[in-house]
Amino acid sequence: MAKPLSILFVSSEIYPFAKTGGLADVSYSLPLALRELGHDIRVMMPKYGSISERKNRIHEINRLRDFPIPVGDTEWLATVKSSSVNNPRSKVQAYITTNQNYFEAKKGFYSDPLTGIDYPDNDERFIFFNRTVLETCILLGWYPDIIHCNDWQTGLVPAFARTEYAQEFKKAKIIYTIHNFGNQGSFPSDSISKTRMSENVLPTITHNDRLNFMKAGIAYSDRITTVSPTYCAEILKNKQSSNGLIAVLKERSDKMLGILDGVDMLTWNPKIDPLIAKNYDKTSVSDKVYSKEALLHRFRLPMRSNTPLIGMISRLNEQKGIKLILEVADQLFAENLQFVLLGEGDPALESGLKEIAARYPDKASVKIGFDDELAHLIEAGADMFMMPSLYEPCGLNQQYSLVYGTVPIVRSTGGLADTVREFSPATGSGNGFVFQKFDSEEMLGAIRRAIAMYSQTEVWDVVVQNGMNEDLSWGRSARQYSDLYRSLIK
Ligand code: ADP
């Protein structure tokens, strides 16, 4: 067997400590899958004020108490605590960075939960965290073979590791994974000096005179990955998708590749999921109905036979295409269907959705908030799952839907294009319903095709089975990451 590698995996969200979206799921299941492949992998993240030490079994480590971290001209104290990420098969060491001012005193991860406004010191918070990551390794005397960073919140780790800390980390290869190009960690010019980077480094960490964490991550990493092959091609091709950094990406295009995220089959699996009404697998799909009943009950909608229930779980923002649903609500709810949505985000989208629910009280219902348990019930209880995204770097929910026999209706973009294929009644192939243009009429067309198939029970069963037969588990993706790491170490 090949020698295990030592890997440091850095992320701003790791389930179950902190989660706003797919990044947290990946930062939980990929390290566990890599551990199962035999690697010595450890994860690092910040400890936000809302994370309970008792519930998450977080405790102090003597060596990592109160060490100084400079941010601009000020020195702050970091204390790094220890915990672990577990599943029934393996365990990964977690280092949790604490600081009273930047993290403990703030309950939100990036924004104030009461106002929804980003914290004004997010630049300092993540400069502090990024430096602490490398200082922690030095204090531990642990110099990993691989440093794997994720999204803007870790973008300065590669930059620090290749400049100020170049001597210590010369053996490390650095991977930078882009989960969402929409947020680059772009801050005003007076944030630049807070990094304490030298003058000659500045062009690589700034963009349009602003500090840009993501640009730094791209510039200083040995490989840049995106979370699906199609998203990788899109950000290299499309100015809008790359959000102003297309030239920077093109320069590094030979170092870029897309690796699809997988599904953690211990967490998202209808056969063993404790959060659904009755467990089922592909031989007992009709048992979905118990979860459908429970779900309709939770959303206060009547149970109707022969009526498909469309589910949605989503951050509510421009990316997720909620706008398309609002645009054609009247046509949509003239159809024989019911609709439940769980999500939170943009107040205008929240109120638009609530207004629709009020207009169609026996067809549509919306819950505003974040509720992991309810998300599982939606995956099991809905007949169809909507993701009309403007862009989608990977998308986990459509993959969970396939596993749960809940047929996805998606726009063909990014990871949605890589995982969902239009069902063909002629050949019996395909696992969902797909529309191409970001257009509400096209979306409506896909929904109508799905409803038409749903009414033909035997055909519908084929679509459902095609989805449930896909192998979406992490195994293959984790091996791709492992192979990538090894290709760099040789
Ligand atoms: P993204 O990462 O862009 O948010 P994904 O589909 O990749 O989208 O992943 C979203 C993850 O976050 C899924 O696990 C989904 O169930 C979860 N999620 C999103 N919004 C909510 C919510 N309001 N309540 C519970 N879980 C949510």
Does residue 239 share a domain with residue 116?
Answer: yes
Query: Please, what sign has the CA dihedral across residues 302, 305, 306, 310?
Result: positive
Q: Of all atoms in ligand 1, which is nearest to the CA of residue 319?
A: 3
Q: Please state, in angstroms and as integers, the Cα–Cα distance from residue 280 to each residue in 174, 305, 486, following that order.
A: 41, 20, 39
Q: Give 73 Cα–ligand 1 centroid separation in angstroms.
A: 38
Taking the model in full, what pTM does it have? 0.94
Question: Residue 101 and residue 127: Cα distance in Å, rounded?
Answer: 13
The Å distance, Cα 19 to ligand 1 centre, comes to: 8
Same domain, 370 and 425: yes
Q: 211 and 65, same structural domain?
A: yes
Q: How far is the CA of 198 from the centre of ligand 1 (A)?
A: 39
* pLDDT score of 490: 75
Question: Same domain for 441 and 480?
Answer: no
Cis peptide before 361 (omega within 30 of 0): no
Q: Residue 422: which of 469, 463, 472, 481 has the closest Cα?
A: 463
- 312 Cα–ligand 1 center, Å: 10
- Give the 3-state secondary structure of residue 155: coil
Ligand 1 nearest atom to the CA of residue 379, by list position: 16
pLDDT given at position 70? 98
The protein residue whose alpha carbon is closest to atom 16 in ligand 1 is: 375
In a domain, 430, yes or no: yes
Which ligand 1 atom minimizes the distance to the CA of 315?
20
Is 257 in the same domain as 289?
no
Residue 332, domain member (yes or no): yes
CA of 314 to the centre of ligand 1 (A): 5
In a domain, 322, yes or no: yes
472 C-alpha to ligand 1 centroid (Å): 17
Q: Give the pLDDT of residue 395.
A: 96
- Residue 243: predicted pLDDT: 75
What is the residue with the minimal CA distance to atom 17 of ligand 1? 21
CA dihedral of residues 58, 61, 66, 67 (deg, nearest 10): -120
32 and 95, same domain (yes or no): yes
23 alpha carbon to ligand 1 midpoint, in Å? Answer: 9
Based on the structure, what is the number of domains in the chain?
2
**Centre of ligand 1 from the C-alpha of residue 61, in Å:** 33
Asked whether residue 268 is domain-assigned, the answer is no
What span, in angstroms and rounded, lies between the C-alpha atoms of 235 and 222? 18
Do 75 and 216 lie in one domain? The reply is: yes
> Using CA atoms in the order 28, 9, 88, 292, what is the torsion angle rounded to 10 degrees?
10
Question: What's the number of CA atoms in the CB half-sphere (13 Å) around residue 408?
Answer: 32
Nearest CA to ligand 1 atom 12: 21
Atom of ligand 1 nearest to the CA of 268: 14
For the chain, what is the largest distance between any 2 Cα atoms, rounded to a whole number of angstroms?
Answer: 69
What pLDDT digit, counting tens, does each position of 275-284 carry? 999 999 999 9
Q: Which two tokens stand for residue 221?
A: 């990493």
For residue 375, how far is its CA from the centre of ligand 1 (angstroms)?
8
What dihedral do alpha carbons 284, 289, 292, 296 form, nearest 10°? -170
* Per-residue pLDDT tens digits for 106-162: 999 999 998 889 999 999 999 999 999 999 999 999 999 999 999 999 999 999 999
Kindly list the distances between the CA atom of residue 179 and the CA atoms of 22, 206, 259, 394, 426, in Å, as whole numbers in the listed order: 8, 20, 11, 8, 36
Choose which residue among 317, 396, 399 to substitute to test ligand 1 binding: the one with the highest number of ligand atoms within 8 A of its C-beta: 396
Please tell me the residue having the least CA distance from ligand 1 atom 22.
Answer: 370
Interval between CA 400 and ligand 1 midpoint (Å): 11
Residue 56 included in any domain = yes
Please check whether residues 50 and 191 belong to one and the same domain: yes
H-type helices in 282-403, by residue range? 288-298, 322-327, 329-332, 347-359, 372-381, 397-403
Could you tell me if residue 274 is inside a domain?
no
Domain span at 128:
6-262+475-489
The CATH number covering residue 309 comes to 3.40.50.2000
> Which of ligand 1's atoms lies nearest the C-alpha of 415?
7
Distance 262 CA to ligand 1 centre (A): 14
State the closest ligand 1 atom to the C-alpha of 397, by its place in the atom list counted from 1: 6
Distances (CA, A) of 75 to 78, 277, 338: 10, 52, 56
Output 282-291 pairs: Cβ under 8 A, ≥24 positions apart. 282/405, 282/465, 282/468, 282/469, 285/405, 285/461, 285/464, 285/465, 285/468, 288/380, 288/381, 288/383, 288/404, 288/405, 288/406, 291/377, 291/380, 291/381
Four-CA torsion 115, 120, 123, 127, nearest 10 degrees: -90
Ligand 1 centroid to residue 395 C-alpha, Å = 9
Ligand 1 centre distance from Cα of residue 180 (Å): 13
What is each CA distance from 383 to 203, 407, 417, in whole angstroms?
Answer: 51, 6, 20
Do 190 and 55 fall within a single domain?
yes
Q: Which of 183, 315, 391 to mutate to test the pocket of ligand 1 (most atoms within 8 A of CB)?
A: 315
Which atom of ligand 1 approaches the CA of 320 most closely? 3
Mutate which of 314, 368, 372 for ligand 1 pocket (most atoms within 8 A of beta carbon): 314
HSE-CB for 361 with a 13 A CA cutoff = 1
* One domain for residues 248 and 295: no
Taking the CA of residue 398 as reference, the ligand 1 atom at the shortest distance is: 6
Examine residue 479 and state whether it is found in any structural domain, yes or no.
yes
Two structure tokens written together for 168: 């210590």
Q: How far apart are CA 231 and CA 251, in angstroms?
A: 17
Whole-number Å distance between alpha carbons of 189 and 170: 30
Is residue 278 situated within a structural domain?
no
pLDDT in tens, the chain (490 residues): 689 999 999 999 999 999 999 999 999 999 999 999 999 999 999 999 999 999 999 999 999 999 999 999 999 999 999 999 999 999 999 999 999 999 999 999 999 998 889 999 999 999 999 999 999 999 999 999 999 999 999 999 999 999 999 999 999 999 999 999 889 999 999 999 999 999 999 999 999 999 999 999 999 999 999 999 999 999 999 877 777 899 999 999 999 999 999 999 999 999 999 999 999 999 999 999 999 999 999 999 999 989 999 999 999 999 999 999 999 999 999 999 999 999 999 999 999 999 999 999 999 999 999 999 999 999 999 999 999 999 999 999 999 999 999 999 999 999 999 999 999 999 999 999 999 999 999 999 999 999 999 999 999 999 999 999 999 999 999 999 999 999 999 7
Q: Note whether 36 and 86 are same-domain residues.
A: yes
Ligand 1 pocket, residues with Cβ under 6 angstroms: 21-23, 25, 313-315, 342-344, 370-372, 375, 394-397
d(CA 139, CA 154) in angstroms, rounded, equals 19
Residues 290 and 366 in one domain: yes
Which tens digit of pLDDT belongs to each residue from 184-229? 999 999 999 999 999 999 999 999 999 999 999 999 999 999 999 9
